[in-house]
Chains A and B, each alone.
Chain A
C-alpha cells in the first residue's frame, strides 16, 4: 500500500493563478481531509469529506474548492492564488471520524 500520496511536493504560483493539489489514498478510507500548516498555527482544516460525493467546509475554506468523485481521490483547488495561501498543505485519510488519521507527505506552496 502506498498510503496517502500527494502531488506535487513543491509548487510556486504567481498571484491570481489557479492550480489543483492532488491527493489519493489506497486504503479504502471514507474520511478524507485537507489541512494547511503555517508556522506557530498548527494544522487548520480547510475542507473534509465523509465519503464519495459528500464534502463540507472546515475552519478555513475560503479560496479553496474540493470534490470527491471517488473514494480514492480528494483534490484541492485553489481558484485564484493569493500570497496568504503560502503554506504547507497536508491531505489525510481515516477509516472514520474516530479513527487514526494518515497524513500524506505534504505540498509546500509558495505564492508570489
Chain B
C-alpha cells in the first residue's frame, strides 16, 4: 500500500535557527497537506499543495511539492518557541482509494 515517510523524527534547534522536515511517498500523490499538532492538542491544517513543483509561503513557513509529486518539504526560517510541536504531512493518492495517508511526523523542539 501507499507509504508516506517523514524525516527527521525529532529535531532540536536553538531559537532563531532554521528547520526543515521532509516527506517522501512511495507513490505519486494527488495532493499533499501539512498539519501542526501542539503538545496535547489536535492536528491543525496548515496548507495544501496540489500542483507539481508548487511553492507556497506563510510568513516564516515555506512549503514545496516536488516535481514528481512524490515528495514535499516544510521549511521554517528563524524558529520561535511558538513553532514547537509535531509537523505532519499527509498525502492523497486517488489511485489507492479515498484515503489520506499521514507521515509519522517530525517533532520540533526549540530552545529559547
Contacts and interface: CB of A to CB of B under 8 A. Distances in A.
A101 B92 CA distance: 12
Contacts, number: 58
Interface residues of A, number: 24
Contacts of B9: 40
Interface stretch (A13-21, A41-49, A71-79): A41-49
Contacts of B84: none
A56 B104 contact: no
A4 to B, nearest CB: 9
Interface in A75-112: 90, 92, 97-98, 100-106
B27 to A, nearest CB: 14
Given A40-B9, A42-B88, A43-B88, A100 B48 contact: yes
B111 to A, nearest CB: 22
A112 B99 CA distance: 31
Given A41-B104, A43-B88, A59-B1, A103 B99 contact: no
25 contacts: A41-B104, A42-B6, A42-B88, A42-B105, A43-B43, A43-B102, A45-B99, A48-B98, A58-B99, A59-B99, A59-B101, A90-B42, A90-B43, A92-B43, A97-B94, A97-B98, A97-B100, A98-B30, A98-B92, A101-B33, A101-B45, A102-B45, A103-B43, A103-B44, A105-B42
